[in-house]
Amino acid sequence: MASTRPPTPTLQNDFRLSVRQLECIVAVADSLSFRRAAETLGIAQPALSTHVAAAEGILHAQLFERDRRSVLITALGRDVVAAARLALAAIDVVSDTARAGSEPLTGPLRLGVIPTIAPYWLPALLPTVRQQFPNLMLILREDQTHRLLEQLSGGEIDVALLALPVAGDFTAKPICDEEFVLAASRTLRPNARVRIHPADLDAETMLLLEDGHCLRDQALAVCSSGGAAPSMSVRATSLPTLIQMVAGNLGSTLLPEMSVPSLVPGKKAAVTIERFARPAPTRTLGLLWRTSSGRLKEFRMLGDALAERATTVLKELRNG
């Protein structure tokens, strides 16, 4: 696509980008395509190109390098896009504040969830959310912790359900403390112990998730407290894969207790589950949102509902 010379700013536009220009900049950065960005925003491609060119003219800066085949973000463009995300998030606070004052927890809510929580906790929590907040439309996004924090900071999601603590300008509502359990091969150890201690892990070959999963760091902390030496040559991308490795007699692993019913169904499974003596090692799950959000009251309401339900779910699981 041929380059368009950015128009010169005038007193009429006051050297200030419009909301639509900000949206166009972010859309192009996300898709690296003017055509796909226009489709995302529901406008014609020439109109989007005009908005981007006008923004570059106001800023006296080239944000994108484009030709007929590709679109690249310039170094300065990356900084501008990051600032544009924050600006759009701040603009959303205005409407969020008004909506929260009229009827809380209605309309769309973008919820990010980490992979070691989503498949195991959401089936237990979402029915309660639908029952208590029937007009809330959840839009779910599953990703690793560091990427969810980036998306939360940039306004791409509204709240995140993950393991605490995390760093940043966020407010957190703890939901529950979920215990870890040991998953071991039934073939290698047919007689499960009633209760184990972290020190017992010293005799285990521990299998872990790959780098990037916060559960890996939490498992390492538990292993370290017991003197165990986790296997660094065998890593998995998911908890189901870890369980298959355990079933294949490659070692043992630590699981969050809510994952057990899905990953180790029945007492005849090839994997046995052993619980720790109290106080057992745990991870704290929590709901996280931007401290600057205009929906603080709503998010606290949602966090309270999730915490109440999570307490019931864990009590039933441990008594079962």
Contact indicator for 183, 248 with CB cutoff of 8 Å:
no
Q: What six digits make up the tokens of 146?
A: 């560091």
Within a domain: 171: no
- pLDDT-derived band at 295 (thresholds 50, 70, 90) equals confident
- Tell me the CATH number at 16: 1.10.10.10
Within a domain: 15: yes
Instruction: Please say if the pLDDT value at position 49 is more than 80.
Output: yes
Contact indicator for 195, 273 with CB cutoff of 8 Å:
no
What's the number of domains the chain is made of?
A: 2
- pLDDT-derived band at 137 (thresholds 50, 70, 90) equals very high
What pLDDT is stored for residue 1 in this prediction? 45
What are φ and ψ of residue 170, in 5° steps? -125, 160
Within a domain: 107: no
Range of the domain at 271: 176-282
Within a domain: 38: yes
Residues above pLDDT 90, as percent of the chain = 57
Contact indicator for 64, 26 with CB cutoff of 8 Å:
no
Q: How many CB atoms lie within 10 A of CB 151?
A: 18
Within a domain: 293: no
Q: How many CB atoms lie within 10 A of CB 290?
A: 24
Is the pTM above the cut of 0.85? Answer: no
Within a domain: 205: yes
Instruction: Please say if the pLDDT value at position 87 is more than 60.
Output: yes
Within a domain: 315: no
Choice among 130-134, 210-214, 283-287, 300-304 with the minimum mean pLDDT = 210-214
Contact indicator for 288, 171 with CB cutoff of 8 Å:
yes
Q: How far are the Cα atoms of 3, 8, 71, 263, 272 from residue 260, in angstroms, in the given order? A: 57, 62, 46, 5, 10
State which H helix or E strand residue 141 sits in.
strand 136-142
Kindly report, residue by residue over 89-134, the tens digit of the pLDDT.
877 777 666 665 567 788 889 999 999 999 999 999 999 999 999 9
What pLDDT is stored for residue 142 in this prediction? 96
Choice among 15-19, 113-117, 189-193 with the minimum mean pLDDT = 189-193
Kindly report, residue by residue over 264-290, the tens digit of the pLDDT.
987 767 899 999 998 999 999 999 999
What are φ and ψ of residue 76, in 5° steps? -65, -35
Nearest-angstrom CA–CA distance, 294 and 298: 9
Within a domain: 157: no
- Tell me the CATH number at 184: 3.40.190.10
Q: What is the Rg, in whole angstroms, of the alpha carbon atoms belonging to the chain?
A: 24
What pLDDT is stored for residue 107 in this prediction? 86
